[in-house]
Every structure is written in structure tokens, then in C-alpha cells.
Chains A and B, each alone.
Chain A
Amino acid sequence: NAGVTQTPKFQVLKTGQSMTLQCAQDMNHEYMSWYRQDPGMGLRLIHYSVGAGITDQGEVPNGYNVSRSTTEDFPLRLLSAAPSQTSVYFCASSRGLGGSYNEQFFGPGTRLTVL
């Protein structure tokens, strides 16, 4: 099992550019989410999905889009990058509801810099 994979690991963008951060998991997890981590702040939820075809907004969704066409993949799209989106992005997945199923598995992160 590869677990949760993310690409790229590092990315530099210019203001206004768009890009997609990729996330995939091979554990057949229903729940997937995207977080951003900024210095001095806890992880903040951007978007999440409870299954293929179902997505919803988290705490800080502005400037980001997601889709979930398959159970395995959950890409995060930056529509028009801004310096405020400079951050480290983590994708996570879990099996679903209840008990140990709520343990989240995290990807290695993508460090994004927007100039």
C-alpha cells in the first residue's frame, strides 16, 4: 500500500497562475480532505469529500475547487493563485464514521509558494 500520495512535493507559482495539487489513496477510504498549514496556526480544512461525487466546503474554501470522480483521487485546484495561498498543503483520508475508522492518514504534503 502506498497510503496517501501527493504531487508535487514543491511548487512555485506566479500570482494569477492556476494549478492542480494531486492526491490519491489506495486504501479504499471514503473520506478525503485537504488542509493547509501555516506558521503559528493549526491545520485548517479547505474542502472535504465523503465519497465519490460528494464534496463540501471546509473552513477556508475561497480560491480553491475540488472534485471527486473516483474513490481514489481528490485533486485540489487553485483557480488564480495569490500570495496568501503560500502554504503547506496536506491531503488526508479515513475510512469513515465511528471508532477507529476516524483515524486519518496524511499525505507527505505539498509546499506551495506564490510569488
Chain B
Amino acid sequence: KNEVEQSPQNLTAQEGEFITINCSYSVGISALHWLQQHPGGGIVSLFMLSSGKKKHGRLIATINIQEKHSSLHITASHPRDSAVYICAAQGGTYKYIFGTGTRLKVLA
């Protein structure tokens, strides 16, 4: 069993739909990161969470420390949101464990 698991692995949505991507982890963490990998390959950091909830534009990230679970929500999805979304558990100062990613495709 992987220490960081994401679901679903693949997701296709229609433009405008509300999207949820889940991340469960089995290790103790100091922070949970959400990353976006563009179709061209570049990776950007979206959120870093240690508790509660963060919002940036149409993106919302939540974390439940007790349940070791985090979710990334996208409201009013758009084709430009199509990407791979990766969660990473920061277990120590320099230790990051990455999930395998959720491939999202938003259709116009």
C-alpha cells in the first residue's frame, strides 16, 4: 500500500462541473502539498496545508489531520484546468512523498 494515495486516477468532466480530487496518506506530516502538472510537463505548487482550508480563485483545498485526508476542489471547471494534480505529504523537513497524480480532463 502506497503511503500517499490519490483518487480517482483519471477524471473527465464537463465544463462548469464541480470537481473533487482526494488524497489519503498514512504517514505523519508537517504539511500537505497540492501541485499541478501542465500538459507540457511543468509543475507548479497550488497549496500547502497544515490544517483547515485554503482557497485561491476557483480552487479550494481542505485537510483533515485526524482522518489523514485532503481534498482539492475545483469550482466551475474550465478546459484550462485540464492537468495532472499531485498531492505530496511532507513527512519531515526534507521528506516529500508524492502521490501518482490524478489526470483531469475538462471538456468544453
- Chain A interface (Cβ within 8 Å of chain B)? 31, 33, 40-45, 48, 50, 56, 88, 90, 92, 97, 100, 102-106, 108-109, 111
Contact = CB atoms under 8 A, between A and B. Distances in A.
Contacts of B98: 42-44
Contacts of A48: 94
A1 B4 CA distance: 33
A106 B44 CA distance: 7
B100 interface: yes
Instruction: Please report whether the interface of chain A is mostly helix, strand, loop or mixed according to DSSP.
Output: strand
A32 to B, nearest CB: 10
A102 B31 contact: yes
B101 to A, nearest CB: 7
B83 interface: no
Given A41-B100, A42-B98, A42-B100, A106 B43 contact: yes
Contacts of A106: 35, 42-45
Interface of B is mostly: strand
Interface residues of B, number: 24
Nearest to B31: A102
Contact of B86 (A43, A45, A108, A111): A43
B71 to A, nearest CB: 18
Contacts of B101: 42
A97 B93 contact: yes
Contact of B41 (A42, A50, A104, A109): A109
B90 interface: yes
B19 interface: no
A109 B86 contact: no
A108 B48 contact: no
B45 A104 contact: yes
A96 to B, nearest CB: 9
Interface in B41-71: 41-45, 48
B4 A42 contact: yes
B33 interface: yes
Nearest to A45: B96
